[in-house]
Structure formats: structure tokens, C-alpha cells
Amino acid sequence: MQNQAKKKIILEHGGRSYKAYFENDPGSCGVGRTRKEAIAALYTYEIGKLILDNPEQFGFEIVDNT
């Protein structure tokens, strides 16, 4: 298995919630009541970004009704 560059996750605590984002991409963001929820939300954001950028690769067709 090849070594991959590590992504650094920054966690911030503010009041009753945590915010997680990638150090090199402050626009990425996950928010949750716990650290675990914030990191899970961050990866949900990343997966969504991948699907939106390459829907055919993942077997999706995106219909935007907005």
C-alpha cells in the first residue's frame, strides 16, 4: 500500500458545538454536538463534493430542480 499525504483536520469548540475542517480547505466544514459528529459531517461534505464533481463515475445523475 502506497503512503498517502495525511490531511490535517482542525477541530474548534464553540459554545455547544464543534466545527471540523481540513487545514488546507477552510471552506470544508462539518458541525456537530460532539467531535465525532463534526468529523462525520465533514466527511459527508467531502463525499458530496466528490459526487457533485463526478456524478457519472459514481453511477449518479444529478437533476437540479432549483
pLDDT in tens, 26-66: 788 899 999 999 999 999 988 988 899 999 998 999 898 98
Supply the range of the domain harboring residue 19. 9-53
| 13 in a structural domain | yes
| 26 in a structural domain | yes
Whole-number pLDDT of residue 27: 83
Between the CA of residue 36 and those of 2, 8, 19, 30, what are the distances in Å?
A: 27, 15, 10, 10
Count how many domains the chain has: 1
| 20 in a structural domain | yes
| 58 in a structural domain | no
**How is residue 41 written as a grid cell?**
459531517
pTM: 0.71
